């Protein structure tokens, strides 16, 4: 297969990109000079050697920003080691940081499919449990926040993790919490769905 076809297929796998835009990307690259193209190719190639997966939270990070096999957040002694937020993916961390969270993270790598007997094949459950156990052993952990999306898959994963985490933490004083549900900023009461209304009522204060 020629490089144009190979690239169209590769770009079609990029998030949110269809065949037409994949083709436009290749046209765009062809309209660039060799130096610009090689610079992109070199950067893509360098991702592998410049990044690593954090041994604690399992996110990827730039090697020169972390400490050994640990990312900057996990290595930061000023973060609150008593709170561990379980998130689906790296991009969630950026957003939670903007919300002012100062605890630590664990990246699941996705959500558990709805009718799947072996969710551990899809999300880092075993890695999460061993992380929680070692944190408990270290005496620091006070709360695990299940920072999952308010979607069907997120809800399913939340219930699953709740059930699995409870026996592992019950003899300790660790609590498992979930993010508050209700009206999100900017939403009008008239257009909120019934479930959100019910949760906003339940979570009133």
Which 104-163 positions form the footprint of a second copy (CB under 8 A)?
Answer: 145, 147-151, 154
Question: What are the structure tokens assigned to 60, written together?
Answer: 């990827």
Of 40-48, 122-130, 132-140, 157-165, which part binds a second copy (CB under 8 A)? Answer: 40-48
Piece of the chain touching a second copy by CB under 8 A; list 71-79, 113-121, 122-130, 171-179: 171-179
> Which among 24-32, 113-121, 130-138, 159-167 is the span making contact with a second copy, rule CB under 8 A?
24-32
Dist. CA 73–CA 53, nearest whole Å: 13
b/e map of 162-197 (b: 16 or more CB within 10 Å)? eeebeebbeeeebebebeeebeeeeeeeeebeeebe
Give the nearest distance from C-beta 116 to a second copy in angstroms.
Answer: 20
Question: Does 169 sit near a second copy (CB under 8 A)?
Answer: no
Tokens of 121: 């094949």
Q: Is 68 in the site for a second copy (CB under 8 A)?
A: no
The dihedrals phi and psi of 170, each to the nearest 5 degrees, come to -65, -30
Q: Does 172 bind a second copy (CB under 8 A)?
A: no
């Amino acid at each position: 297969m020629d490089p144009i076809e190979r690239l169209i297929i590769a770009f079609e796998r990029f998030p949110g990109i269809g065949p037409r835009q994949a083709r436009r990307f290749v046209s765009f690259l062809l309209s660039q000079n060799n130096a610009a193209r090689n610079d992109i190719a070199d950067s893509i190639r360098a991702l592998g050697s410049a990044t690593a997966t954090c041994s604690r939270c399992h996110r990827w990070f730039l090697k020169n920003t972390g400490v050994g096999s640990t990312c900057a957040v996990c290595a930061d002694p000023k973060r609150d080691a008593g709170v561990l937020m379980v998130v689906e993916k790296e991009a969630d961390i950026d957003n939670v940081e903007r919300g002012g969270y100062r605890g630590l993270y664990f990246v699941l790598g996705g959500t558990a499919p709805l009718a799947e007997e072996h969710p551990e094949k899809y999300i880092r459950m075993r890695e999460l449990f061993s992380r929680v156990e070692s944190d408990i052993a270290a005496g620091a952990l006070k709360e695990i926040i299940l920072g999952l999306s308010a979607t069907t898959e997120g809800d399913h994963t939340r219930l699953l993790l709740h059930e699995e985490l409870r026996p592992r933490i019950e003899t300790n004083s660790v609590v498992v919490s979930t993010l508050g549900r209700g009206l999100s900023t900017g939403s009008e009461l008239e257009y909120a769905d019934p479930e959100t209304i019910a949760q906003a009522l339940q979570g009133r204060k």
